[in-house]
Homo-oligomer: A and B are copies of this chain.
Amino acid sequence: MQNFNFSNPVKIIFGKGTIEKLGAEAAKAGQKALFVYGGGSIKKNGVYEAVLKTLAGSGITAVEHPGVKPNPVLSHVREGVKKAKAEKCDLVIAAGGGSVIDESKAIAAGALYAGDVWDFFTRKARAQEALPIFTVLTLPATGSEMNNGCVVTNEETKQKYSTGETVLFPKASILDPEVTMSLPLAQVANGAVDAIAHLIEGYFTTPDPDNAVTDEIVHALSRSVIASTERILKDPKDYNARASMMWSATLALNGLASCGYGRMSFINHAIEHSLSAIYDIAHGAGLAIIMPAWFKHYLANGGEQRLAKYGKAVFGSKDAQETIRDFEAFFRKAGAPVRLSEAGIPAKDIPAIAENAMGLIAMWGIKADKPEVEKILSGAK
């Protein structure tokens, strides 16, 4: 077990009917909010009205910034920064999934920065301050509601890059499982795959796998994600399954599931970011394609024992090979693609995808060269 720091100041307000508590929380931080959301699904499920009502009830004015894309793009972040500065917003409200929350974090930091917000993603600058951020989560998946990371795509350069700073932790996040009841099953699948991906990166890439407690937590959250997904597929209106999925996905990337793993590699994420940057596919779908291929590569490079341990605890698999098959079977059952071809990505693009991935691989300090990445991708044809 490696040394670690753990600190997560986000206040979680979880359960039915909790959106009405947003106004009182936000009013502690300011009086004029930039209200960030996506393509308008929150106008169909009642979240939009509920947010405006609770903000108004606490005397908070909302300046709307709609239209965040599923892979949030830099141009739209820049627009939000401009709007927040012009309107002198003193807090940011995000209502949506990880994309909306990530864009909100970027805007919150950009609003208090004189330079270009992309500087934070290229490591040219670090965010030292940010407007206070409050979130209403509508899609369990990325964990952004309880961490300090955010990912934005520069659509001109096709770079999907990330940043993470202490000032980017939301002050409070509202998690009401009822607002996820109407999610399409494809989004449930993407969310489940994303949560699993967050759980496995540390588990399989830690340099120090003698860590009974964090291993147990990874197994526990994995089982909960899988069991909840299966219940939701059977009955999309199963509240307790929606609730367990929502809390599991949040815990999967709030820092808890990697305590003591030490320097882990986010290699599956690094490669996937290239898929969604180039082809604009859902992050979860891209991960369901990359993970089985990476597991095969990992198995061929000494990963047998670790794969077998995870598979036995989570799926009841008999060995490492069966663990990989069980992962694939779960992704397929959830409705995610597990091969590049199933997402319409031609095998001839592999060198270009690998080339793109090398940017993040270098930035994140992952030990992998282009031939290795091409080899991994070849396993996903």
A interface residue numbers (CB < 8 A to B):
1-18, 177, 210-214, 216-217, 219-221, 223-224, 227-228, 239-241, 243-244, 247-248, 251, 256, 259-260
Contacts of A14 in B (CB 8 A): 3-6, 259-260
Return 25 A-B CB contacts under 8 Å, by A number: A1-B15, A1-B239, A1-B240, A1-B247, A3-B15, A3-B16, A3-B18, A4-B12, A5-B11, A5-B12, A14-B259, A211-B240, A211-B243, A211-B244, A212-B240, A213-B228, A213-B251, A216-B221, A216-B224, A217-B217, A217-B220, A217-B221, A219-B220, A220-B220, A243-B260
CA–CA, A6 to B244, complex, Å?
15
Contacts of A3 in B (CB 8 A): 14-18
Contacts of A228 in B (CB 8 A): 212-213
Contacts of A1 in B (CB 8 A): 15, 177, 239-240, 243-244, 247
Check A241/B212 contact, CB under 8 A, given A4-B15, A260-B247. Answer: yes
The quantity of this chain's copies bound in the complex is: 2
CA–CA, A180 to B4, complex, Å?
17
Contacts of A16 in B (CB 8 A): 3
Docked-complex contact B7 and A10, CB < 8 angstroms? yes
CB distance from A110 to the nearest CB of B (A): 26
Contacts of A177 in B (CB 8 A): 1
CA–CA, A243 to B247, complex, Å?
26
CA–CA, A7 to B11, complex, Å?
5
Minimum CB distance partner of A242 in chain B? B1
New A-B pairs, 10, CB < 8 Å, besides A3-B14, A213-B228, A213-B247:
A1-B15, A1-B244, A4-B15, A7-B9, A212-B223, A212-B240, A213-B244, A217-B221, A220-B220, A251-B256
CA–CA, A216 to B267, complex, Å?
27
CA–CA, A240 to B215, complex, Å?
12
Residue from B12, B217, B241, B260 in contact with A6 in the complex, judged by beta carbons closer than 8 Å: B12
CA–CA, A13 to B244, complex, Å?
29
CA–CA, A181 to B15, complex, Å?
42
Contacts of A213 in B (CB 8 A): 220-221, 224, 228, 244, 247-248, 251
CA–CA, A247 to B216, complex, Å?
12
CA–CA, A372 to B8, complex, Å?
41
CB distance from A12 to the nearest CB of B (A): 4
Residue from B6, B15, B217 in contact with A2 in the complex, judged by beta carbons closer than 8 Å: B15
CB distance from A218 to the nearest CB of B (A): 9
CB distance from A90 to the nearest CB of B (A): 22
Contacts of A217 in B (CB 8 A): 217, 220-221
Docked-complex contact A13 and B5, CB < 8 angstroms? yes
Contacts of A4 in B (CB 8 A): 12, 14-15
Docked-complex contact B210 and A240, CB < 8 angstroms? yes
Contacts of A241 in B (CB 8 A): 212
Contacts of A224 in B (CB 8 A): 212-213, 216
